[in-house]
């Protein structure tokens, strides 16, 4: 056996480091090709790193909570006979999918390693990395009640199901008790990225916020009609579709400021970032080419992205490249409105409050109507107050003109 050191691979999207969340192996453990070695958290996602070789683990480099640069030593393995081992650098990152073969390449079909319960898990809703974790912890997914959207099983569900067997499930960032009883929480990974992005936003972007209220009667009627037709849908896809239509009329809101050249870059495509509250912090998965999608496609894809963000199964690419962001602040409670912070380098973020009955004047009569607040925060270097008002007015118009 020859000892070989596996370094942290390039996780893509310009990421230069990752935080080590936890080891899945320990020195002396036997591993096979593609067996999970550890979990790392980047600025955008939690990723499972698989082994590129079969062999025995000699040394693990790094402790949970540490930041490891791309290219730094991760684990040393006494590799067994390399016949059939996966080539170095081509390990499949769980949740990312495998690399597409190039011209003339042939993808080898892996040996069947189905567990006895594999056939019974076909109807279970769970991300690939959640299934992998369940196999490692010996959890039968068919016996787990999913807490995710649509009954999807999350990582937390699997770890909770494993606890009766006294299997370890330490949190990625355990608070440390200070000498006076205070707690210190390591700010790394996603939380550190959020902090940097927010500091960048408020320190480099002169931004202002405008507010409006829209009559949601037509939107709610359209949603109810879709549900009666067997197409359950939330208000979010309607919000996104209305934002896209408003952008068509005011494309400057779908732009960014190029600080290196002092230029405004108006984006051709509309890639909508969707702010999602997750156990790991605020994530913004990206609905690409939203301007080319129907309402049904927006609903299906946005639901999948939100589910993936909460389940930790999205790749960094799934959370990069947005051109405008929406945040449904009313989804978590009876929140009227807020002042969202622009997501650099974008120009605009749109916040939607809770839809509820409010007194409104209709045909000179005061009556209770379903309505909601909207707020937009914009980069004042690109957008002045007049254009922001026109965009917000167009957005209200689109929402109030929705038809079933």
Q: Which of 61, 179, 228, 380 is catalytic?
A: 380
Residue 152, classed as helix, strand or coil, is coil
Cα separation, 105 vs 200, in Å, equals 44
Helix (H, G, I), strand (E, B) or coil at 272: strand
d(CA 159, CA 142): 14
Segment (H or E) for 240: helix 235-249
Cα 183 from Cα 177, distance rounded (Å): 5
* DSSP codes, 163-181: GGGT-----SSPPEEPTTS
Residue 158 neighbours by CB under 8 Å, 6+ apart:
126, 130, 133, 134, 137, 139, 141, 144
Q: Is 380 a catalytic residue?
A: yes
Bridge-based pairing of strands 348-352 and 365-379 is antiparallel
For the CA atoms of 19, 161, 307, 215, what is the dihedral angle to 10 degrees?
-120
Q: How far is CA 198 from CA 162, 272, 340, 341, in A?
A: 37, 19, 11, 7
The four Cα atoms 122, 123, 126, 131 give a dihedral, to 10 degrees, of: -30
> Catalytic residues, which ones?
380
């Amino acid at each position: 056996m020859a000892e070989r050191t596996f370094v942290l691979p390039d996780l893509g999207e310009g990421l230069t480091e990752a935080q080590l969340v936890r080891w899945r192996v320990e020195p002396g453990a036997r591993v096979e090709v593609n067996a999970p070695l550890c979990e790392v958290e980047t600025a955008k996602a939690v990723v499972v790193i698989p082994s590129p070789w079969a062999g025995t683990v000699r040394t693990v480099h790094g402790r949970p909570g540490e930041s490891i640069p791309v290219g730094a030593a991760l684990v040393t393995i006494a590799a067994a006979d390399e016949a059939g081992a996966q080539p170095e650098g081509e390990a499949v990152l769980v949740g990312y999918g495998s690399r597409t073969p190039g011209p003339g390449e042939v993808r080898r079909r892996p040996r069947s390693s189905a567990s006895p319960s594999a056939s019974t898990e076909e109807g279970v809703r769970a991300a690939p990395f959640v299934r992998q974790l369940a196999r490692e912890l010996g959890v039968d997914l068919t016996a787990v009640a999913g807490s995710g959207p649509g009954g999807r099983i999350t990582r937390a569900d699997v770890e909770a199901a494993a606890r009766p067997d006294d299997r370890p499930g330490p949190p990625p960032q355990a608070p440390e008790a200070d000498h006076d009883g205070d707690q210190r929480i390591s700010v790394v990974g996603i939380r550190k990225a959020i902090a940097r992005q927010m500091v960048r936003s408020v320190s480099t972007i002169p931004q202002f916020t405008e507010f409006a209220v829209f009559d949601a009667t037509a939107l709610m009627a359209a949603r109810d009609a879709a549900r009666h037709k067997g197409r359950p849908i939330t208000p979010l896809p309607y919000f996104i579709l209305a934002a896209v239509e408003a952008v068509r009329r005011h494309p400057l809101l779908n732009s960014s400021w190029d600080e290196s050249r002092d230029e405004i870059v108006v984006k051709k495509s509309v890639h909508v970032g969707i702010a999602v509250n997750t156990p790991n912090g605020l994530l913004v998965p990206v609905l690409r080419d939203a301007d080319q999608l129907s309402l049904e496609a927006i609903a299906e894809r946005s639901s999948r992205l939100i589910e993936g963000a909460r389940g930790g199964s999205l790749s960094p690419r799934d959370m990069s490249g947005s051109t405008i962001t929406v945040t449904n602040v009313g989804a978590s409670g009876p929140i009227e409105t807020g002042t969202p912070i622009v997501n650099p380098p974008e120009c605009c973020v749109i916040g939607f409050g809770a839809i509820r009955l409010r007194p409104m004047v209709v045909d000179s009569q005061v009556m209770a109507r379903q309505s909601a607040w909207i707020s937009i925060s914009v980069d004042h270097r690109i957008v002045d107050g007049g254009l922001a008002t026109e965009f917000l007015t167009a957005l209200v118009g689109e929402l109030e003109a929705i038809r079933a």
